[in-house]
Homo-oligomer: A and B are copies of this chain.
Amino acid sequence: MTAPTSKCDVLIVGAGPAGMMLATWMARMGITTRIVDKRGSKIYAGQADGLQLRSLEIFDSFGFADRAVKEANHLLEFCMWNPGEDGLIRRSDRVPDVPVGLSRFTEIVLHQGRIERFFLDHIKKHSKGCLNVERGVLPESLHIADTCADHSADNYPITVQLRHLSEEEAKPAQSKASGVSDGLFRSNLAEDDTDDLIGRSREKEGQTEVVQAKYMVGCDGAHSWTRRQLGFQLEGEPTDYIWGVLDIIPLTNFPDIRMRCAVHSATSGSLMVIPRENKLVRLYIQLTEIKPDASGRADRSQITPDTIIRAAQKILAPYTLAYEYCDWWTAYQIGQRVGTDFSYQERVFLAGDAVHTHSPKAGQGMNVSMQDSYNLGWKIGMVVKGLAKPEILKTYQSERRRIAKDLIAFDHKFSRLFSGRPAKDVMDAEGVSMEEFKAAFLKGNLFASGLSVDYGTSMLVAKPGDATEEGDGTDVSSSHSEKAVGKQDLATNVRLGMRFPSYKVLNQSDARPWEFQPKLKSDGRFRIIVFAGDVVEEKQQARLQAFCAKLTASAFLAKHLHKDIHVLTVHSSKRVEVELLRDFPDVLHPYDEKTGWDYDSVYVDDESYHEGFADAYKGYGVSRESGCVVVARPDQYVGHIDSLDEEGYAGVETYFRGVFVG
């Protein structure tokens, strides 16, 4: 009996946050996609839950950040508790949980099941119901043809055999020790069960199919089956630190139970408090009494909610801690590993836990994983559509493997400081200095926010420098004869390689204030942001007209307006002194015969009636007189900056010639 065969552009293996994010891009860009997951049901509790600033900005670019913000618990303050001279814990510091002034968001926590729900709703809406997660489906063979370099539209070099499990087979086994659902089956203390699942399922017949794909992305977790097929490794070592996790409604007199806290006890280990939605609190609890065996791995059978809460009680003493309701629990052993390769010939990619594993306490796992596939998705989409050169796919490994290495280094340092015993005094060389811990937290905070990401030079980021040095070593320099180099000094706070920041601006046509960054929607389009300057001035108006005339007349770019390249404008004149139809060339607010003028593309940096004056030009570091032009990638990262004139137009076109097919 031959298995049925079908084709798709992109096959995604794994429907956790990394896979969901990739599917979201595919839905937004209209790419034929399948997404499969070996589990038979989605996650309803536990798992990762911290959403960092950049993740919320990304959600906002899709349009569903508000759902997360509304339902989540918000973390505002981080409190550090350490032993005093009497050996009892006391609060030594309070600091803002995220640096002030970085973003319109704060860190929030919400369980992964809700976040997956937001993705699913968005995918359903934008794929018109065509793209659905296929659960209880797993790959069992992968074959890659040697025609990978041929990117013509009818080449499907990837062949995957998929196996459909029955509902019973796809259900994860739960620990017998308690009635509460646990996450041990996904913990690094457990063996992977993929081969088991395949083995059990193979005993039955007629449940396989063959899929031929142009691209494949393994978002299949730390035990990644895809990674194993490719023969790629995770490099790094586990540590001896073993931690338990409890999601409970606490009964306690500990005063900071609704704050994010790091508690270092004198001799009983450390604990982190993450207050969550619906009165829940997540506790990360160091299990100092459980040690790894000779194989280096902790004995799972010793770990129960009961042993974990007892460890927590010791750490928090003299404060009391108990619970009536436990929502979820798990345990893990800290280790930091990063993948050797993030892609096989730019045809099969790995993202998320498949290429980096680390401790969960810094709230990075889900965030960095989603940001991996947020980086990758639009690149695949543009190549599948025949718009962008396939070589842009190389920037995925260059950009994201570099981030993964930084993450692992950060986590290594933070875990050591957090799991270590506090120093008794300055002579206690084996103990951890609480000053050092605080300094590491504050420095790590910016990294953890996701806003310090700074991609190196490449065909997608027109900054000077060496492409191999600024990334992970992959060569991602432009193959185009001429290399664009952005003029950073024209927009000093819009950094080449970093995400486009946000300030409030007003819609020119209706005076409504908007955060500007979410206007750079994640819809698969590049953006030219015209900082038009003071358009009331004759000379500046002439520069604007000259730039727009070149843009409209361009044989190379005009055909991509506004389908693949969207144009947004922010000017710095007084709102009431200019008019949309009189003072701005048509290309900045195109006319449609059915729906009239576009009133949503021209903005002004001016005083609002109810929300003050954001002074966005100052924030962006752009001259209010002469303005400039910024090119943002579809993921809001800044690709190019140039002057608002004919010469600047030439730079913009050079940038796009390095990216677009022609």
Contact = CB atoms under 8 A, between A and B. Distances in A.
Contacts of A259: 509-511
Contact of A66 (B66, B250, B507, B594): B66
Given A106-B610, A252-B596, 13 more contacts: A66-B66, A74-B510, A76-B510, A101-B610, A249-B596, A253-B581, A255-B580, A258-B510, A258-B599, A279-B599, A324-B594, A325-B594, A325-B595
Contacts of A100: 609-610
A324 B511 CA distance: 26
A510 B609 contact: no
Interface residues of A, number: 43
A259 B508 CA distance: 10
Given A259-B510, A510-B258, A510-B259, A609 B77 contact: yes
B70 A66 contact: yes
Contact of A596 (B77, B94, B250, B582): B250
Given A76-B609, A609-B76, A581 B255 contact: yes
A579 interface: yes
A279 to B, nearest CB: 5
Contacts of A593: 251, 324
A583 to B, nearest CB: 11
Contacts of A75: 510
Nearest to A63: B70
A579 B252 CA distance: 14
Contact of A595 (B255, B279, B582, B596): B279
B594 A249 contact: yes
Contacts of A96: 609-610
Nearest to A609: B96
Interface string A64-78: 001000100111110
Interface string A508-539: 01111000000000000000000000000000
A486 interface: no
A582 B582 CA distance: 65
A576 interface: yes
Interface string A57-92: 000000000100010011111000000000000000
14 contacts: A75-B510, A76-B511, A96-B609, A251-B593, A251-B596, A252-B596, A253-B581, A257-B509, A258-B510, A258-B599, A279-B595, A324-B593, A324-B594, A325-B595
A94 B576 contact: yes
Interface string A270-307: 00000100010000000000000000000000000000
Contacts of A510: 73-77, 258-259, 275
A109 to B, nearest CB: 11
A170 B255 CA distance: 60
A77 B512 CA distance: 9
Contacts of A249: 594-596
A599 B100 CA distance: 25
A560 to B, nearest CB: 24
A535 to B, nearest CB: 15
A125 to B, nearest CB: 14
Contacts of A609: 76-77, 96, 100
